[in-house]
C-alpha cells in the first residue's frame, strides 16, 4: 500500500487573462477584472502530494528535503514573475489556476525519483479558490468557498423535550443560535482551451448564490422548507445543499464541504481530497 506525503510551497506572481482575438467587451464579460492590462497578482500556495512505498531503510516515501529542492527549483521560474510576460508557458495559454497547476505538474512529475509518483497538486490562488490536478491531461477540479449566515435550533419533533435537551444540549435553545457557515463547492471537468477554466467562475458564483441567497440571514427551521420536518443539523444541511446544487450543476458537481465552525466540518459525498 502506498503512503501519501504532502509538502506546502509558496510563490508570488502576477498575471493577466486576455484573448487577443476577442473584443474588449467579450474579454471583460468572461474574465472581468482579470483583464486589467497591467496584470494583477497573488500569493500562491501549492500543495505537492507524492506517493509510494515506504523505503525499509530510510523509513520515507521520499526525502522531504529533496522534494523541497526539486519543487523550489521549478517554482523559481514563476516566483516574483509576470506569468504572461516572463515565462514561456503562457504566451498563448491563459494563466488560470487550472492551467498553471497543469503546467507545474508537467515540470515536477518527470523529476521525481524512481518509485515515487506525483499523486496530486493543489494550487490556491487565494484562500477561497483553488484548483487540483491529478495528471489527467485536460481534466482538473476547481474549488470555491462561499459563506452564509443563518440561525437554527436543533430539535427533533419525534423526540421528547427532555430527550432533545439531552442529545443537543445548548443547540436545543428554544430561541435558537447561529453560525457563519462556510461552504466549499468542488466541480470538475475539462479545462476549456479558450478560457483556461473548468467552469465559468461568474456563472458558478451565480448558481451557488441563487441557492445560498435563500438561506443567508434566515432562520433555517422557519424559512427553509426542508427543515420544517427534520433537524437542521450540519449533516442534513450539507445533503440538502447537495440536492439543490446538483440540480444546477449536474454531474459536474463532485463534492461539498460544510464548515459549521472551525472545529466541525462535514463532507458530502465521501471526500476524495
- Angle, nearest 10°, between helix axes 64-75 and 97-108? 120
Active site residue 15: no
- For residue 273, pLDDT beyond 50: no
**Could you tell me the sign of the dihedral formed by the alpha carbons of 126, 131, 135, 138, in that order?**
negative
Query: Which pLDDT tens digit goes with each residue over 209-262?
Result: 999 999 999 999 999 999 999 999 999 999 999 999 999 999 999 999 999 999
Scanning the structure block, which residue is given the C-alpha cell 430539535? Answer: 155
User: Which of 28, 45, 66, 260 is flagged as catalytic?
Assistant: 260
Q: Of 19, 74, 25, whose CA–CA distance to 192 is shortest?
A: 19
Query: Which pLDDT tens digit goes with each residue over 131-187?
Result: 999 998 889 999 999 999 999 999 999 999 999 999 999 999 999 999 999 999 999
User: Which of 45, 66, 82, 171 is flagged as catalytic?
Assistant: 171
Phi and psi torsions of 113, nearest 5°:
-70, 160
User: Which of 217, 235, 246, 273 is flagged as catalytic?
Assistant: 217
Active site residue 171: yes
Answer whether 0.75 is exceeded by the pTM: yes
Amino acid at each position: 500500500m502506498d503512503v501519501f506525503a504532502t509538502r506546502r510551497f509558496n510563490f508570488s506572481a502576477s498575471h493577466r487573462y486576455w484573448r487577443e482575438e476577442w473584443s474588449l467587451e467579450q474579454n471583460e464579460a468572461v474574465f472581468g477584472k482579470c483583464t486589467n492590462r497591467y496584470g494583477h497578482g497573488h500569493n500562491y500556495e501549492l500543495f505537492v502530494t507524492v506517493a509510494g512505498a515506504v523505503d525499509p531503510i530510510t523509513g520515507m516515501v521520499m526525502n522531504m528535503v529533496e522534494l523541497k529542492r526539486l519543487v523550489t527549483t521549478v517554482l523559481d521560474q514563476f516566483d516574483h514573475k509576470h506569468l504572461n510576460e516572463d515565462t514561456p508557458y503562457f504566451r498563448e495559454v491563459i494563466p488560470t489556476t487550472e492551467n498553471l497547476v497543469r503546467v507545474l505538474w508537467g515540470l515536477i512529475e518527470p523529476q521525481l525519483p524512481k518509485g515515487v509518483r506525483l499523486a496530486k497538486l493543489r494550487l490556491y490562488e487565494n484562500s477561497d479558490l483553488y484548483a487540483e490536478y491529478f495528471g489527467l491531461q485536460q481534466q482538473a477540479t476547481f474549488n470555491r468557498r462561499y459563506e452564509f449566515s443563518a440561525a437554527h435550533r436543533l430539535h427533533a419533533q419525534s423526540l421528547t423535550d427532555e430527550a432533545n435537551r439531552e442529545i443537543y444540549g445548548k443547540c436545543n435553545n428554544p430561541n435558537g443560535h447561529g453560525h457563519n457557515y462556510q461552504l466549499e463547492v468542488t466541480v470538475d471537468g475539462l479545462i476549456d482551451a479558450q478560457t483556461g477554466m473548468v467552469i465559468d467562475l461568474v456563472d458558478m458564483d451565480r448558481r451557488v448564490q441563487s441557492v445560498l441567497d435563500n438561506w443567508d440571514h434566515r432562520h433555517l427551521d422557519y424559512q427553509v422548507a426542508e427543515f420544517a420536518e427534520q433537524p437542521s443539523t450540519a449533516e442534513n444541511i450539507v445533503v440538502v445543499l447537495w440536492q439543490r446544487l446538483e440540480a444546477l450543476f449536474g454531474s459536474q458537481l463532485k463534492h461539498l464541504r460544510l464548515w459549521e465552525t472551525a472545529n466541525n466540518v462535514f463532507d458530502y459525498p465521501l471526500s476524495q481530497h
